[in-house]
Chains A and B, each alone.
Chain A
Amino acid sequence: MATAEDVKKLAALARISIGEAELEKFTKEFDSILAYVGQLEKLDLPKVGAEKPALRNVMRADGEPHESGKYTEKLAAQFPERDGDYLAVKQIISHD
């Protein structure tokens, strides 16, 4: 059984706030979803997935995929806050 505290903790890990009003509903649903997916627990599976997969190189050759700066303005135009071509964010490390 998940508790409201568990759900709160997961939400904090996922950078989401769950209000008190929603918390009870989410906790209840969380339990019913886990009960459903938990049916896998009783499965005793042969180890078919354990053998080595057939590997192939999926990397493209080194090089420039497109000319430098091609998308800069389009991407920077969507920044919530910009300083020239830089993305402006709050100070992360404080000095006091």
Chain B
Amino acid sequence: MTKAPNELTIVEAARALRARELSVRELWDACHAVAVAKNPELNAFLEIFDADDAAIEAAQKRIDTEGEKAPVLCGIPLGIKDNIMIEGKIASAASKILENHKAAYDSTAIAKLKEAGALFLGRTNLDEFGMGASTEHSAFGPTKNPHDLSRVPGGSSGGSAAAVAAHLVLGAYGTDTGGSCRQPAAHCGIVGFKPTYGAISRHGIIALGSSLDQVGELGKSAEDIRILFETIRGHDPLDSTTNPEGLYPAPQVPAKLRIGVPRHLVEQEGVDAELRAVFDAALKKLEKEGHTIVDIELPMSSYALASYYIVLPAEASANLARYDGMRYGLAKRGQTLLDDYLESRTEGFGEEPKRRILIGTFVLSSGYIDAYYRKADATRAVLRKEFNDAFAKCDVVAFPTAPAPAFKFGEKSGDPVAMYLEDVFTVTANLTGMPAISVPMGSVEKEGKQLPVGMHFTAPHGAEALAFRAAEAVEEVRSA
């Protein structure tokens, strides 16, 4: 093998494990050693776990006895965002208010991964409760971008993205509420995915915006993403928002795709000119390979971000009301019961959760709910219809994942709206509930550093396979 074990893709490692070129223990040790060595610099992990000898041995035994029939993720070390519960481990959501919170049970996603024999290398960093696009809002310090340590890795799943990009793990899970897997994947030069709303159980996931949240996947290739997704997808009796089998028709996946491009969005103000050039060049290459580029219009997309920043804070303020210092987490005690609540929440929440709780409380308050929340919800319905109409003309919709490559630490921290604009493209998929993927399309040079940029594809509800195919098409033209 020319690559070190930790540098393999999941598919490559699974093959090497079955060919006896590599043992589960060697793979774990390689990832663990690199993670321990690099984490002080990157801060991708909030905690790196010790080897679970029983799990490692069980995975090895399974590969030895079942061979090709063993699940692909068997024996594969993964990173888990710290808002996904693993029984007996801390699940802090990178917040002081949950710093000592120990998960009492496995999330359904983790239970399925354990069943498949996957290994967990550690808890990855995020913006507090998933609120942010840079990990600068983590209560435990930001994660660094492996391509340029002076830049953010994106967020909120920035720890997961940096861990995969720097080869500390072979793949990772995150959550995606407004772009939290796709935008950091773009900034770190890997593939990031958000499935259809309801495709994956959220039982045991720390909630942010309940009409938007999905568990997402981060990996080195579209093929790996498909495996990470397939392993944990499916209806769950413990989450009534999961989709039953057959809710959406299985998509036809053509070899040559019709790719819809909303030029009015791609050419809007604030989109980096060099990034746009990379996007256009990638489209040209796709066209040369026989895919068709179709012009489409999604006028309501211009209002998507405004709509998102009403819906999300509203839902977040309701979800975060449960952290009151009474049952778990940070518990400050004052004179009265009200003081207990006030002191626990004031000390426990960072600035961004407070900001969004205030906005959410405002837009839901009597007298404003029609002007804000209901208007945002109506906007969302129109947006969904526009995308559905566009899918009559195309298989997937393409635009850049983020308006520019990774920015520098502190560049946007003084201006919340500038930070929110990072999500201008990605939020559309959360608002419509459609599956969407970010795949590396090339890089742009900033201050002498090559910074990766991502192409984003949205597919119709339940058409994950189309999103994967589109990502593979970009991978094909990139390697050609």
Which residues of A are in contact with B by a Cβ distance under 8 Å?
7, 10-11, 13-18, 26, 29-30, 32-34, 36-41, 43, 45-49, 56, 58-60, 65, 71, 74-75, 77-81, 87, 89-90, 92
Q: Determine whether the beta carbon of A10 is less than 8 Å from that of B361.
A: yes
Q: Determine whether the beta carbon of B240 is less than 8 Å from that of A58.
A: yes
A90 to B340, CA, bound (A): 9
Q: Determine whether the beta carbon of A49 is less than 8 Å from that of B358.
A: no
A residues near B420, Cβ cutoff 8 Å: 33, 36
A8 to B321, CA, bound (A): 17
Give the 6 A-B CB pairs with smallest separation, nearest first: A49-B381, A80-B331, A74-B104, A58-B240, A78-B328, A17-B346
A36 to B240, CA, bound (A): 34
A13 to B338, CA, bound (A): 11
A residues near B310, Cβ cutoff 8 Å: 37, 40
Q: Determine whether the beta carbon of A43 is less than 8 Å from that of B303.
A: yes
A residues near B342, Cβ cutoff 8 Å: 15-17
A residues near B377, Cβ cutoff 8 Å: 49
A95 to B168, CA, bound (A): 59
Q: Determine whether the beta carbon of A43 is less than 8 Å from that of B379.
A: yes
Cβ-neighbour of B355 out of A26, A47, A58 (below 8 A): A26
B residues 360-392 in Cβ contact with A at 8 Å? 361-363, 365, 371-372, 375-382, 385
A residues near B362, Cβ cutoff 8 Å: 10, 30, 34
B residues near A45, Cβ cutoff 8 Å: 375, 378-379, 382
Residue B354 interfacial (CB < 8 Å): yes
B residues near A16, Cβ cutoff 8 Å: 342, 345-346, 349, 354, 357-358
Q: Determine whether the beta carbon of A43 is less than 8 Å from that of B326.
A: no
Q: Determine whether the beta carbon of A41 is less than 8 Å from that of B341.
A: no
Residue B4 interfacial (CB < 8 Å): no
From residue A86, how far is it (CB to closest CB) to chain B in Å?
12
From residue A75, how far is it (CB to closest CB) to chain B in Å?
5
Q: Determine whether the beta carbon of B303 is less than 8 Å from that of A39.
A: yes
Q: Determine whether the beta carbon of A37 is less than 8 Å from that of B372.
A: yes
Q: Determine whether the beta carbon of A13 is less than 8 Å from that of B309.
A: no
Q: Say whether, besides A11-B358, A33-B309, A40-B307, A71 and B381 are in contact (CB < 8 Å).
A: no
Cβ-neighbour of B336 out of A77, A79, A90 (below 8 A): A90
Q: Determine whether the beta carbon of B358 is less than 8 Å from that of A79.
A: no
Q: Determine whether the beta carbon of A14 is less than 8 Å from that of B241.
A: no
B side interface size, CB within 8 A: 59
Residue interface bits B185-199, CB-to-A below 8 A is 1, else 0: 000000000000000
Residue interface bits B214-256, CB-to-A below 8 A is 1, else 0: 0000000000000000000000011011001000000000000
Q: Say whether, besides A14-B317, A46-B382, A87-B326, A40 and B358 are in contact (CB < 8 Å).
A: no
Residue interface bits B397-433, CB-to-A below 8 A is 1, else 0: 0000000000000000001110010000000000000
Cβ-neighbour of B357 out of A14, A33, A71, A80 (below 8 A): A14
Q: Determine whether the beta carbon of B326 is less than 8 Å from that of A40.
A: no
Q: Determine whether the beta carbon of B379 is less than 8 Å from that of A33.
A: no
Q: Determine whether the beta carbon of B340 is less than 8 Å from that of A87.
A: no
Cβ-neighbour of A89 out of B337, B343, B372, B417 (below 8 A): B337
Cβ-neighbour of B358 out of A10, A38, A60, A80 (below 8 A): A10
Q: Say whether, besides A14-B317, A14-B358, A37 and B336 are in contact (CB < 8 Å).
A: no
A residues near B365, Cβ cutoff 8 Å: 10, 13
A residues near B329, Cβ cutoff 8 Å: 78
Which of B104, B337, B376: most chain A Cβ within 10 A?
A: B104
A residues near B55, Cβ cutoff 8 Å: none
A33 to B131, CA, bound (A): 15
B residues near A10, Cβ cutoff 8 Å: 358, 361-362, 365
Q: Determine whether the beta carbon of A40 is less than 8 Å from that of B357.
A: no
Q: Nearest chain-B residue to A36 (Cβ)?
A: B417
A residues near B359, Cβ cutoff 8 Å: 30, 33-34
Q: Determine whether the beta carbon of B309 is less than 8 Å from that of A60.
A: no
A2 to B244, CA, bound (A): 45
From residue A48, how far is it (CB to closest CB) to chain B in Å?
5
Q: Determine whether the beta carbon of A87 is less than 8 Å from that of B104.
A: no
7 pairs of residues in contact across A and B, judged by CB atoms under 8 Å: A10-B365, A11-B354, A14-B321, A17-B346, A37-B376, A71-B105, A75-B328
Q: Nearest chain-A residue to B356 (Cβ)?
A: A33
Q: Determine whether the beta carbon of B306 is less than 8 Å from that of A60.
A: no
From residue B92, how far is it (CB to closest CB) to chain A in Å?
13
B residues near A43, Cβ cutoff 8 Å: 303, 375, 379
Cβ-neighbour of A78 out of B101, B415, B417 (below 8 A): B101
Q: Determine whether the beta carbon of B327 is less than 8 Å from that of A48.
A: no
A51 to B360, CA, bound (A): 26
Residue B395 interfacial (CB < 8 Å): no
A90 to B335, CA, bound (A): 9
Residue B5 interfacial (CB < 8 Å): no
Q: Say whether, besides A29-B416, A32-B417, A48 and B385 are in contact (CB < 8 Å).
A: yes
From residue B337, how far is it (CB to closest CB) to chain A in Å?
5
Q: Determine whether the beta carbon of B361 is less than 8 Å from that of A14.
A: yes
